[in-house]
Structure 1
Amino acid sequence: MRPVPSWPPMPPGGAPVAQPGRRAASQVALWWLMGVIGMLFALMLVAYVMRMSQGDWRPLPSVNALWVNTGVLAAACIVMQSSASQARQGELRRSRRDWMLAGVLALVFVAAQLWVWRELVLRHYGVSGNPANSFFFLLTGLHGMHMLGGLVAWACLMPRRVTHAARARRLQLTAQYWHFLFALWIVLFAAIVNLTPEIAQRLCGTGVTAP
């Protein structure tokens, strides 16, 4: 009798081959998730610009800590990508070390954002102070919630019982999600720092023209 072929197929070394269909499905699901999140923030930014064009908008003061936070998040994404690359190359010890450091940096970013909120409240720029305050807390808080979701994905890589191939695949997907959150943060940060009521009025066509 012929032996029944196993699935997934087993190479000569005995380790199961990763299923390409499963990899493709997880990648497509990630792209769908990032697309939905991107659309949500795009709509929020449109509302941000439209509300800024109104006459009662009072911009927040400059918050220099946001520049530091941006650097911390960039470092977290770089180290996370290094962890994924090390895992693909079989450097498990270095991959785990970079994975741990990336998580610490991401936690520092979230904690620093909370510190920025606290400083603004102490300076009497609370959520209900004016529309600029409300939108700042809303946009940064929404991004922080998705960053916490990225940390949940990071924490799911903690068990050591997963196979090397599965861990490398999950690391790569998590790194892609973190890169997406960093790109999203850059857009939000640029809007918060650079947009002014005058620019918003031009974009919305609500500027007052001279007679």
Structure 2
Amino acid sequence: MYFTIRSVSIGQGITEWPEAHLNVPFALANTIILVLSSVTCQLGVWAAEKGQVAKLRFWYIVSFIMGAVFVAGQLYEYAQLVAEGHTLSHTAYDSVFYLATGFHGLHVTGGLIAFLFMLGRTYAAKRFTREQATSAIVVSYYWHFVDVVWIGLFVTIYGIH
């Protein structure tokens, strides 16, 4: 999306891409939180594979909190940008920024909901079975994928602006 809008803008004679007013250090800290949440998620998977339901719960709760902090950080960044006049319709760059990061944020929120369902299943089950371990693994695949996508978005949006 970024490259399409950028090339269309150049084709229309817009040679200068508007300067983005992004707080890169803040976004980097937020990114580190999200990436570390993948580590804690994987620790939860390893616990699930060993049948250690208490450790699975602990690590998935930590991952959930870190993911929620990431989403809160994104919302804070949006509020700062809007306060500076950078709305969805302000420039092509702003449109791409909000659409790409917004869709990613929705996917992170979906992952947070998956963590809650997974945690609920561990409490609802009378005993921890292979199915619960498999569910934990599936949730982790989704979470890791969302994190990898964010790394690509971060490099593209914050690194190449």
Rg bigger for which structure?
1
Instruction: Return the match for 1:164 from 109, 129, 138.
Output: 129
What's the offset of the Cα at 1:45? Answer: 4.2
Runs (5+) with no aligned partner, structure 1: 1-43, 197-211
Match of 2:37 in 1: 76
Task: Tell me if structure 2 keeps the 8 A contact 1:51–1:131.
Answer: no
Deviation sequence 1:172-200 (CA, Å, 0-9, x none) = 1111111111110011111112335xxxx
Match of 1:181 in 2: 146
- Percent identity at matched positions? 26
Give, in whole Å, the separation in 1 of the partners of 2:18 and 2:141.
Answer: 36
Instruction: Return the match for 2:106 from 138, 145, 157.
Output: 145
Give, in whole Å, the separation in 1 of the partners of 2:5 and 2:45.
Answer: 36
Instruction: Return the match for 1:127 from 85, 88, 93.
Output: 88
Change (3 A) 1:106 1:51: farther
Match of 1:204 in 2: none
What's the offset of the Cα at 1:46? Answer: 4.2
Match of 1:4 in 2: none
Give, in whole Å, the separation in 2 of the partners of 1:194 and 1:52.
Answer: 20
Matched position secondary structure for 1:156: helix
Match of 1:195 in 2: 160
Match of 1:28 in 2: none
Deviation sequence 1:53-103 (CA, Å, 0-9, x none) = 451631312312110110110111110111011111122211111111111
Q: 2:18 matched to 1:58?
A: yes
RMSD over aligned CA atoms reads 1.7
Change (3 A) 1:133 1:45: closer
Task: Tell me if structure 2 keeps the 8 A contact 1:52–1:132.
Answer: no
Task: Tell me if structure 1 keeps the 8 A contact 2:5–2:92.
Answer: no
Larger proportion of helix: 2
Instruction: Return the match for 2:56 from 75, 79, 95.
Output: 95
Normalized against structure 1, the TM-score is what? 0.67
Count of residues in correspondence between the two structures: 153
Look up the equivalent residue of 2:29 and give its one-letter code: V
Match of 1:113 in 2: 74
Give, in whole Å, the separation in 2 of the partners of 1:152 and 1:104.
Answer: 12
What's the offset of the Cα at 1:119? Answer: 0.5
What's the offset of the Cα at 1:51? Answer: 4.1
Change (3 A) 1:62 1:68: same
